[in-house]
Each structure stands twice: as structure tokens, then as C-alpha cells.
Amino acid sequence: TQLLEQSPQFLSIQEGENLTVYCNSSSVFSSLQWYRQEPGEGPVLLVTVVTGGEVKKLKRLTFQFGDARKDSSLHITAAQPGDTGLYLCAGAKDKLIFGTGTLLAVQP
């Protein structure tokens, strides 16, 4: 089974801090997606990165796809309580393979 490992598993920070979440695999993916999931709801797509080395920005969130298309990172600048949730990466091969998840809590 192909695995996408995310780190850290849990992260609790204060409002205004910066953070980075990592998504790593030994497999190459054709693209990589990031989802955010809030309690009691299903995941919602944030972004898709396709090209090795690609960087995409969504307001205070910056997503990067590794050059070899095996890993990705999510950087949040000046985190806010509204960023609280479970962040999931998902790599695309013949199907979508989801990562293990990073649970982020931003304290006001």
C-alpha cells in the first residue's frame, strides 16, 4: 500500500504564528491535492498542484509540490482560529491516495 505520511500529526499554536505541514511519500504522483476538514463535516478541496516545483498561494496559505513530485508542503502565515481543522494531502495515481492527516488547532 502506498503511504502518504504527514507531519506533524498534531499542531497547537497561537494566533499569529506561522506553521508548515509536510506530506511525504516514496511514490511519484501525477498531482497532489490538499483538503481541509472541519469537525462533523467532509473534507473540502483547497488546492491542486500538478507540476514539480509548483507553488500556489491561497490568501495566507502557500502550497508547494516537490520537484520530484513525491512530496508537498503547506505553509500558513499568521494563523487564525478559523484555520483550525484537519488538513489532508492526497496524491493522484490511478486513484486518490490520502495522507494520514495533520490536526491543527489555532488558539486565540
Partner 1 sequence: DAGITQSPRHKVTETGTPVTLRCHQTENHRYMYWYRQDPGHGLRLIHYSYGVKDTDKGEVSDGYSVSRSKTEDFLLTLESATSSQTSVYFCAISRSGGISTDTQYFGPGTRLTVL
Residues found near partner 1 in the complex (CB under 8 A)? 1, 4, 6, 9, 30-31, 33, 40-45, 48, 50, 88, 90, 92-96, 98-101
Distance CA 49, CA 33 (A): 6
How far CA 103 is from CA of 56, 69, 74, 87, in Å, comes to 21, 24, 13, 6
Q: How far is the CB of 76 from partner 1 (least distance, A)?
A: 19
Distance CA 85, CA 5 (A): 18
Q: How far is the CB of 78 from partner 1 (least distance, A)?
A: 27
How far CA 57 is from CA of 1, 39, 74, in Å, comes to 31, 24, 10
Closer residue to partner 1, CB minimum distance, 2 or 77? 2
Closer residue to partner 1, CB minimum distance, 13 or 103? 103
Q: How far is the CB of 60 from partner 1 (least distance, A)?
A: 22
Closer residue to partner 1, CB minimum distance, 76 or 88? 88
